[in-house]
Structure 1
Amino acid sequence: MLGVNERDHPTLIVVPAWNEERNVGHTVSEILAARPEYDVVVIDDGSTDSTAAVARSAGAAVIQLPFNLGVGGAMRTGFTYALRHGYTRAIQVDADGQHNPADIDSVLEGLERADISIGARFAEVGDYDVKGPRRWAMIVLARVMSRVAGTKLTDATSGFRAAGPSAIAQYVRYYPAEYFGDTLDSLVAACHAGLTVTQVPVAMRPRMHGTSTQGTFGALVYLLRAVFALGLAVVRPHRAIGAVARTEEPA
């Protein structure tokens, strides 16, 4: 099903998935029902279950990684595919069902005014709620990222984000696989490379199956790791990595 046609803005929806056989089929079906004109690729991140087969049966193209690289590695694979095949817009939609495909167009519309558009929680839409250390971390991270990006952001760790052509090229050059690198470090690097960021309010949903949260101790670890990751991202010299993102033609 994948292939670029003559649309003005060929769009690729990238779905990173690791052992999501219970969720990915429904997610792909929802995406195709909402926007059948968009192309969908599932990046099977070294799954040991039937994620790849379920995704194909639902109508997505699938790229299977030989082992688990994490969300950052999976997304860099997706952006590389987008660049090589001439897509001018790419958007991440998680396989677990938290990102509502009905909001895809709203997030993509943010690319009309910026290179990167984030589907943001905590922006007066929906009832998504996080408490305790995890919530404190998100507030601190959003404030720091707002200063880095030069615009108000309420959700620096949202994975529901879209990239225009300059951001796709930047992400192919630098999209870290380490913890929080896919959201924080990649965004800092993009800003240091001169790319612009905006956010669009969206309502997140709970996972369809499985669990993704920890208890109090896990939330505290989340806080410490998030702040540490952002600190490293801010002080790391990114400018030389991404400064050419706007000047080179896609490979």
Structure 2
Amino acid sequence: MKSTKAPRVLVIIPAYNEENSIAAVIHDIHRHVPSADIVVINDGSRDLTEQYAVRAGARVLTLPYNVGIGGGMQTGYIYAKRMDYDIAIQMDADGQHPAEELPKLISKAVSYDLVIGSRYLETTSFRSSVMRRIGMVFFSGLVSLVTGQRFTDTTSGFRAAGRKVIELYADYYPIDYPEVESIVYLKRKGCQIAEVSTEMRLRQAGKSSITPLKSAYYMIKVTLAVLMSAIRYDRTAVSKP
């Protein structure tokens, strides 16, 4: 008989100097998904991110220095694995991801290994700059090509992972700009991935760390990482009897 027990859900919030938004994000999650646990990965912040997160009611894991989004998220997945959660949700600390969309991700994650909140699967109110939109379209097309599955928003950091993905990401997670590459990695591992249309907002506080120079590096690095992952995937498939 299939279990009707509600899944144990953990929301992972990587945060670096997000004292102006972190408390509001945590309160928003408590309001819309009160049963979910929250862990903030304080990635070597130099401000009051840790204190504000604790006051808002989240568990905080503080890293001794800034390791970046990849290392921060892997820390969260290791925690989710050790604490035996059924679903782990990645959510930004800057207020871009509305907590009212969490039930969509959670309900679909019961049937898929990974669910991605997409800004472009359907028409939403989200608007990005022309250059960011070009990058999003490029990477979605590239990943769709190398995996054989259509994706519309591979750069989205609003995701829900089931137990299989929690295990995989706890063992390996791309370090630098990981969202795109991590999808290809999961497809190589035979994971079932789906997208669900979600609203998103512009960041509610702080500023993006991505400069024009970093954007150029991002495009080159991620493209090469995806192509190398695809080559490894093809070689593995050919070598199977």
Would the TM-score normalized by the shorter structure come out above 0.5? yes
- Provide Cα deviations, 1:225-246, integer angstroms capped at 9, x if missing partner: 4433433433346998xxxxxx
Q: Does the aligned pair in 2 maintain the 1:141–1:230 contact within 8 Å? A: no
Between 189-198 and 220-229, the greater mean CA deviation after superposition? 220-229
TM-score (norm 2): 0.88
Name the amino acid aligned to 1:186. Answer: S
Q: Does the aligned pair in 2 maintain the 1:120–1:199 contact within 8 Å? A: yes
Name the amino acid aligned to 1:67. Answer: Y
Matches within 5 A, 1:131-210: 131-178=129-176, 180=177, 182-210=178-206
CA 1:239–1:55 in structure 2 vs 1: closer, same or farther (change >3 Å)? farther
In 1, Cα distance between equivalents of 2:223 and 2:129: 17
Which position in structure 2 is the counterpart of 1:19? 17
In 2, Cα distance between equivalents of 1:239 and 1:13: 35
Q: Does the aligned pair in 1 maintain the 2:98–2:199 contact within 8 Å? A: yes
- Provide Cα deviations, 1:168-210, integer angstroms capped at 9, x if missing partner: 00101110212x2x21222111110111110001111011112
Which position in structure 2 is the counterpart of 1:69? 67
- What SS is found at the alignment partner of 1:42? strand
Which position in structure 2 is the counterpart of 1:123? 121
Matches within 5 A, 1:233-248: 233-236=229-232
Q: Does the aligned pair in 2 maintain the 1:137–1:227 contact within 8 Å? A: no
- 1:105 is displaced (CA, Å) by 1.0
- What SS is found at the alignment partner of 2:11? strand
CA 1:235–1:132 in structure 2 vs 1: closer, same or farther (change >3 Å)? farther
CA 1:38–1:239 in structure 2 vs 1: closer, same or farther (change >3 Å)? farther
Between 222-231 and 192-201, the greater mean CA deviation after superposition? 222-231
- Provide Cα deviations, 1:74-96, integer angstroms capped at 9, x if missing partner: 11111111111110100011100
Name the amino acid aligned to 2:173. Answer: Y
Q: Does the aligned pair in 1 maintain the 2:181–2:222 contact within 8 Å? A: no
- What SS is found at the alignment partner of 1:198? strand
In 2, Cα distance between equivalents of 1:209 and 1:27: 11
Matches within 5 A, 1:203-242: 203-212=199-208, 219-236=215-232
- 1:8 is displaced (CA, Å) by 3.5
Question: What runs of 5+ residues in structure 1 fail to find an aligned partner?
Answer: 1-5, 241-251
Question: What runs of 5+ residues in structure 2 fail to find an aligned partner?
Answer: 237-241
Q: Percent identity?
A: 36
- What SS is found at the alignment partner of 1:212? coil
Name the amino acid aligned to 1:199. Answer: E
TM-score (norm 1): 0.85
- Provide Cα deviations, 1:35-78, integer angstroms capped at 9, x if missing partner: 11110010101111110100000010100011111111111111
Aligned length in residues = 233
CA 1:143–1:92 in structure 2 vs 1: closer, same or farther (change >3 Å)? same
RMSD: 2.3
Which position in structure 1 is the counterpart of 2:97? 99
- 1:112 is displaced (CA, Å) by 3.2
Q: Does the aligned pair in 2 maintain the 1:12–1:38 contact within 8 Å? A: yes
- What SS is found at the alignment partner of 1:129? coil
In 2, Cα distance between equivalents of 1:208 and 1:138: 21
CA 1:134–1:232 in structure 2 vs 1: closer, same or farther (change >3 Å)? farther
Which position in structure 2 is the counterpart of 1:40? 38
Which position in structure 1 is the counterpart of 2:76? 78
Q: Does the aligned pair in 1 maintain the 2:113–2:163 contact within 8 Å? A: yes
CA 1:86–1:238 in structure 2 vs 1: closer, same or farther (change >3 Å)? farther
- What SS is found at the alignment partner of 1:233? helix
